[in-house]
Amino acid sequence: METAIELKGITKTYKGEKQAAVCNVSLKVKRGSIITLLGPSGCGKTTTLRLIAGFERPESGEIYVGGQLMAGEKTWVSAEKRKIGMVFQDYALFPHLNVEENIGFGYRGKDKKERVQEVLELVNLHGFERKGVHHLSGGQQQRVALARALAKRPEVILLDEPFSNLDTNLKQTMRNEVKRILKKANATGILVSHDQKDALAISDEIVVMKDGIIQQKGSPKKIYQFPNNAFVAGFVGESNMMRGIVLPGKRWIATDIGKIPCNQYHIISEGEEVLISLRPSGFEITEEGEIEGMVESFSYVGEYLEARVGVSSEKKEKISLLVYVHPNENLKQGDLLKLRVSANFVSVVKN
Ligand SMILES: Nc1ncnc2c1ncn2[C@@H]1O[C@H](COP(=O)(O)OP(=O)(O)O)[C@@H](O)[C@H]1O
Ligand SMILES: [Mg+2]
């Protein structure tokens, strides 16, 4: 694996602050991959990008770009010398320059004309060369910003909240477009987002952060199906959390609503009390289902029905499960359902 970017134990505390904005962050980004730093506002995503770009200096740790040390105890390479392309949240285009001039800005190579044309085609803006950027839509401005960043063939492209200024439909298009463009250019991309949908859709790898600390790294599927702590389970989608005891054989967990299958036997031991996350997409309505419950309420959200299903527990109080049901299903309040749980959506989590 060729590594484009590596962070080793990076910590950054802003002047006058007690808590570090980024705390002991280590990360390897494979060349050609797209990763997303995902987390709530204030968790240190932008600071991490700014550290990689060279706009901030870490107080400890090392940053490598293309295998070369950029920041370390005795090393500091300035932002202009880092081979990094940046797409800012507000795009930061030059309003008095046209599309072509924006893209070519700061490009020093002799092949400037050809290179500008090449990236223009890559981002599907052929024919827009002479347009002023203020005449462009949000999506088109983003294409210009991306083309400008790609033109210099940087080691990595950093994108800060690239989709937050776009409306829902355009957002979906641009997600696919940014992915297509980065892949076609063989570029490495590091995105920052607070939106789990963006992160799941575009990334090869997601890095979930909270309070400056990495919570979990992994493929979108891994992060969604197998969150390894309660924060990730709650932040990346919704989840039913419950306690249980690992049964002999380690394939089942005894909970208040019955036996739940689990295929994470390698990280649990028999008789252990564990906290599990059960994704609402992990249920199937079937006669063979072991969990019986009653539909308490539901709402139609288009892609699925969000149902609350009350299940009697061994304790006195009922447990209310969040269950995503196929929108074709004709649910009524009070319906009795039998549910089967797929082990692929059950994860053992740390508190
Ligand atoms: N220039 C700054 N000076 C002081 N504190 C800052 C500065 N920039 C960010 N912070 C603080 O650092 C933390 C991380 O911020 P940031 O990296 O912008 O988070 P995010 O991009 O995830 O929303 C926050 O608590 C924020 O208030
Ligand atoms: Mg930010």
pLDDT, the chain, mean: 94
The pLDDT of 253-268, averaged and rounded, is 94
Residues linked to residue 300 through DSSP beta bridges, in sequence order: 305
Q: Whose CA is nearest to atom 6 of ligand 1?
A: 14
- Pocket flag, ligand 1, residue 327 (CB < 6 Å): no
- Pocket flag, ligand 1, residue 21 (CB < 6 Å): yes
| Listed residue (77, 42, 46) closest to 62, CA to CA | 77
pLDDT digits over 20-37, tens only? 999 999 999 999 999 999
pLDDT at 165: 84
- Pocket flag, ligand 1, residue 42 (CB < 6 Å): yes
Exposure of 306 by Cβ count < 10 A (0-12 exposed, 13-18 middle, 19+ buried)?
middle
In a domain, 231, yes or no: no
Name the 3-class secondary structure at 281: helix
**Counting atoms of ligand 1 from 1, which one is nearest the CA of 48?**
17
The pLDDT of 200-227, averaged and rounded, is 96
Q: Which element (helix H / strand E) includes 261?
A: strand 258-261
**Residue entry with tokens 């959200």:** 301
pLDDT at 350: 78
**At 101, which CATH number?**
3.40.50.300
CA 62–ligand 2 middle distance (angstroms): 22
Q: Are residues 244 and 205 in the same domain?
A: no
Q: Which of 226, 248, 281 is the last residue of a domain?
A: 226
Range of the structural domain that residue 301 is part of: 238-349
Whole-prediction pTM value?
Answer: 0.91
Q: Are residues 209 and 244 in the same domain?
A: no
- Pocket flag, ligand 1, residue 14 (CB < 6 Å): yes
